[in-house]
Structure formats: C-alpha cells, structure tokens
Amino acid sequence: PMGSERTEMRKRQMSATQDTPGAAQAQLSTGNRGSNACCFCWCCCCSCSCLTVRNQDEERARTTSHELQAEGIPNCEESPAPTLEEVNAWAQSFDKLMLTPAGRNAFREFLRTEFSEENMLFWMACEELKQESNKSVIEEKARLIYEDYISILSPKEVSLDSRVREVINRNMLEPSQHTFDDAQLQIYTLMHRDSYPRFMNSAIYKDLLRSLSEKPTEA
C-alpha cells in the first residue's frame, strides 16, 4: 500500500540524517557563514582570506617601493670623525653645523629620531642638483626630487607653503639647477628654527661631545 511506502521512506530519511549529523551541521554552518559574510568580502571565503591576501600583497608592494626609493640614499655621508673643536663649533651656529659632512651626519641621525629626516635628504638632493650641468641629467634629477619630496603622494613629502609650491610648479616647466632654491631655503630655515635647538639639547649631541671630551689627547 502507498501508506506503508511513505512510512518506509520517512524511516530511511531519518536514519540517513542520524547517521551523518556532521554533514547536516556542516551544511548549517556553511549557510550561516554565507549569510554573515563581511561586507568587504563577498566571495564567502573562510575568515575572508581573500581580503587578507590582498592586504598582504598591497603591503609588500608598498614596502618594495619604499626600499627601491631608499636604495640611492646613503646611510651617511663619507667624512672623517669630527674633532672636539668641530663639535663645539656646531653649537655656535647652524651654518657651522651644516658646513661639514660630520655635522650633517650627526644632525641627520637626530632628525631620524624625530621622523623628519626627509628635510635633510631634500636639502642634500638640492645641493647635488646644483652641481649638475648636463640638461638631461638636471631634468631627471629634478623630476625625482619632485616625486620624492614635493608630491603630496610621497611618504617623504616636505612641508612647504603654497607660494613656494607654485614657484616649483612653474619652474618644473623648464627644470634647472635652481628649480628648488626657494623650497631649499624654506626647509633650511625650518631645520634651523625648529630642529636645531632640540638637537643641541639631545642625547646624540651631548654623548658625542662627552666622548670627545673624555678622549685622551694624542701627543
């Protein structure tokens, strides 16, 4: 009879469900995960793995880009170790500090602790540009300086006012050794007024001065 067939079918279905509770639970879990997928990841990957992978790829790309930009930047300028007389002279004026490679290296080390090393790097790049005479080299170096230190998209952008930026934009139409002169002066003044007084009171300067003072005088 039809009634007994339906009863037997229901028994088989109930038996199959009881034999495979894990499958039913997995199905339920999958359904819940699909309905609760985060709004940033519609592929319903477990733990939004696609978003994690994408973020990791973007971070690696940014890191690689920064590493490539830093390849051409030396950790410090080549210079002999400073003498006690030179280090004492740094306290007399900012100009005397910036006049020697040893002074620039010590000041740059301090700027790095304040996350403003780009100011010194920009100033040094402008000094290097002034030494060029080849037109194509000047244009290429000016472009790199603009991308590295002037562009608002650069992580090493220096702080310049709107007037100086307008001057740079006009100068970039035909770059020369003096394209960034106004900007270089503004950053030099900023380092002088803002960072230099703190450098003179920093552990970097005081430790260097102490080590040279305690160094025995050679006969």
CATH architecture of 84-214: Orthogonal Bundle (1.10)
Structure tokens at 3: 């009634």
CB 199 within 8 A of CB 151: no
- Asked if 155 contacts 217 with a C-beta cutoff of 8 angstroms, the reply is no
Average pLDDT over residues 48-74: 42
When the pLDDT of each residue in the chain is averaged and rounded to a whole number, the result is 78
Contacts of 108 (CB under 8 A, 6+ apart): 76, 117, 120, 121
Round to whole Å and give the CA distance between 180 and 168.
6
User: How much is the pLDDT for 77?
Assistant: 75
Q: What is the pLDDT of residues 84-98, one digit of tens each?
A: 999 999 999 999 999
Helix 101-113, helix 203-214: angle, nearest 10: 140
What residue has token string 């039913």?
A: 24
Q: Which residue has the tokens 């001065």?
A: 209
| Residue type, position 195, single letter | S
Residue 195: name the closest of 117, 89, 125 by CA: 117
List b or e across 145-169, with b for residues whose CB sees 16 or more CB atoms inside 10 angstroms: bbebbbeeeeebebebeeebeebbe
Copy the structure tokens of residue 162.
């709107």
User: What's the distance, Cα to Cα, between the start and end of the chain in Å?
Assistant: 121
Give the residue with greater pLDDT, 19 vs 159.
159
In tens, the pLDDT along 12-30 reads 555 554 544 444 444 444 4
Percent of the chain scoring above 90 in pLDDT: 60
